[in-house]
Amino acid sequence: NEGSLWGGRFASGPSPELAKLSKSTHFDWQLAPYDIAGSRAHARALHAAGYLSAAELEAMIDGLNRLEADVESGEVVAAETDEDVHGALEAALIEIVGPELGGKLRAGRSRNDQIATLVRMYLRDHAAAIATELVHLIDALAAQAEAHGDAIMPGRTHLQHAQPVLLAHHLLAHAWALTRDLDRLVDWDGRADVSPYGSGALAGSTLGLDAASVAQDLGLAGISENSIDGTASRDVVAEFAFIAAMIGIDLSRLSEEIILWNTREFGFVTLDDGYSTGSSIMPQKKNPDIAELARGKSGRLIGNLTGLLATLKALPLAYNRDLQEDKEPVFDSVETLEVLLPAFTGMVATLRFDTARMAELAPQGFSLATDVAEWLVKRHVPFRDAHEITGALVRYAEEHGLDLHEVPDDALAGISPHLVPEVREVLTIEGSVASRDGVAGTAPSSVAKQFTALTERVRTL
């Protein structure tokens, strides 16, 4: 009958086309060390529940240790016929310990709870590595800020000159954003630090295995409280992909500035030869490729996130094979950041700033106008009037081709009796930044406090 026909087809094994489609060993093989760690923990749980004798446990652990060494040395690799890392490692274990013992390990677990656990273990390790790289980058920004304590640059809004700021203040703004990314990784880890092992295929196990001891063995603080959620959820993976994308975006925003600063028109920075590239035809070129690659790769990191979210959308509970598609994007995000961050940090650490050029441009575009208005407010002129008076001053200066501080005394007085010559005290970029000494402001005294707060924040993360 038809049923047996179908049964006959199943007995034949997967078609080559299905096998090719289904295969994941080319990317999930990197989970092998975690898979083997999971197997060791699972073997101990089977022993504790009476399914493996002490001798069997010992032989199993020995076999798994050898398997681990063989995987590490490259002696054991996934075979062409293996579908995924779990199946490949089970087959290799059976080669080592024999089918009798090797065949006992699968009891009470499923590839569904395995993969859900392994991806967390993998991501936690790499999150720690990425966090370390982020700290290096934050340190590099902080070191540049410290090295340029009093340097002043044009602060911008809408990319137009707005108000002068300390270069250190600007660099630390990027450091704070990256510090929040670091904070996100730490916070994320609290949710990732949970083991779905013991959830089985979706409904849990009948064997009375101690999931908490497996979790503890794997260095995971908690266990999934719901086996369906344990096997089917991937929000932890998506959240990681978001943090990776956010890091990419934060790097990209700084990259865009470095690219601009490195143009002849800005002339704010020079890139170190070791962290810039030349042109094959134009001998004079020195290109900011690291910043451009960071900007470009942020698109890729965003793509990994959105692709993963699209995969997860509308997936019914519990496990579906779609979930296999979570790994390549997030592995790519990890690999992208692990290659990008060290190069990026090197570029930042070796940037040379032309502080004279920055200082020269800082007052241009009437960027000290707000200082005049606030100076008037301090002399009890209502801000509305102060804004009007300062606007008239800017118009006068523009019409006469002068900078604000060059407007003569009689012209000042003509604009408003409030504009006495002392106003010029705030018409220097040094005076301007020094006067913004409130909380979070750009005055050297405020930036020094900020620097201490940042260092403290990073240290406690």
Question: Would you name the residues annotated as active-site residues?
Answer: 158, 279
Site stretch for ligand ARG (CB under 6 A), options 46-54, 169-177, 321-329, 350-358: 321-329
- Does residue number 84 form part of the binding site for ligand ARG (CB under 6 A)? yes
- Say whether residue 237 binds ligand ARG (CB under 6 A): no
Q: Is 250 in the site for ligand ARG (CB under 6 A)?
A: no
Out of 158, 321, 384, 459, which residue is the one contacting ligand ARG (CB under 6 A)?
A: 321
Q: Least distance (Å) from ligand ARG to the CB of residue 306?
A: 20
Q: Is the dihedral of CA 148, 151, 152, 153 positive or negative?
A: negative
Of 241, 240, 33, 228, give the one whose Cα is nearest residue 112: 228
Taking CB under 6 A as the binding criterion, the range among 3-11, 94-102, 316-324, 335-343 that sits at the site for ligand ARG is 316-324
- Environment class of residue 91 by beta-carbon count within 10 Å: exposed (0-12), middle (13-18) or buried (19+)? middle
Which residue matches tokens 């949710």?
191
Residue 323, interface with ligand ARG (CB under 6 A)? Answer: yes
90 binds ligand ARG (CB under 6 A): no
| Cβ–Cβ under 8 Å, residues 4 and 61 | no
Q: Which residue from 281, 86, 287 is spatially nearest to 197, judged by alpha carbons? A: 86
Pick the closer one to ligand ARG by CB: 25 or 144: 25
Can residue 324 be called a binding residue for ligand ARG (CB under 6 A)? yes
Smallest CA-to-CA distance from 258 within 283, 226, 225, 289 is with 289
Q: Give the Cα separation of 237 and 219 in Å (integer).
A: 18
CB 78 within 8 A of CB 19: no
* Residue ranges in 326-355 that form contacts with ligand ARG under rule CB under 6 A: 327
Q: Which is nearer to ligand ARG, 84 or 371 (CB)?
A: 84
- Closest contact distance (angstroms) between CB of 26 and ligand ARG is 12
Please report whether residue 319 would count as binding ligand ARG according to CB under 6 A: yes
Q: For residues 369 and 390, what is the distance between their CA atoms, to the nearest angstrom?
A: 6
Smallest distance, Å, CB 353 to ligand ARG?
A: 48
115 lines the binding site for ligand ARG (CB under 6 A):
yes
Cβ of residue 222: shortest distance to ligand ARG, in angstroms? Answer: 22
For residue 311, state whether it binds ligand ARG (rule: CB under 6 A).
Answer: no
Buried b (16+ CB within 10 A) or exposed e, 159-197: eebebbbbbbbbbbbbbbbbbebbbbbeebbeebbbbbb
Q: Which amino acid is at 390?
A: T
CB of 76: closest distance to ligand ARG in angstroms?
A: 18
Question: What is the Cα–Cα distance from 365 to 162, expressed in whole angstroms?
Answer: 8
Q: Which of residues 1-60 bind ligand ARG (CB under 6 A)?
A: 24
Give the range of 182-190, 310-318, 323-331, 362-370 binding ligand ARG by CB under 6 A: 323-331
Question: Shortest CA distance to 36 belongs to which of 3, 72, 9, 2?
Answer: 72
Rg, C-alpha atoms of the chain: 31
| Binding-residue total with ligand ARG (CB under 6 A) | 10
Q: Does the protein bind ligand ARG through residue 117 (CB under 6 A)?
A: no
Residues in contact with ligand ARG by CB under 6 A are 24, 84, 111-112, 115, 319, 321, 323-324, 327
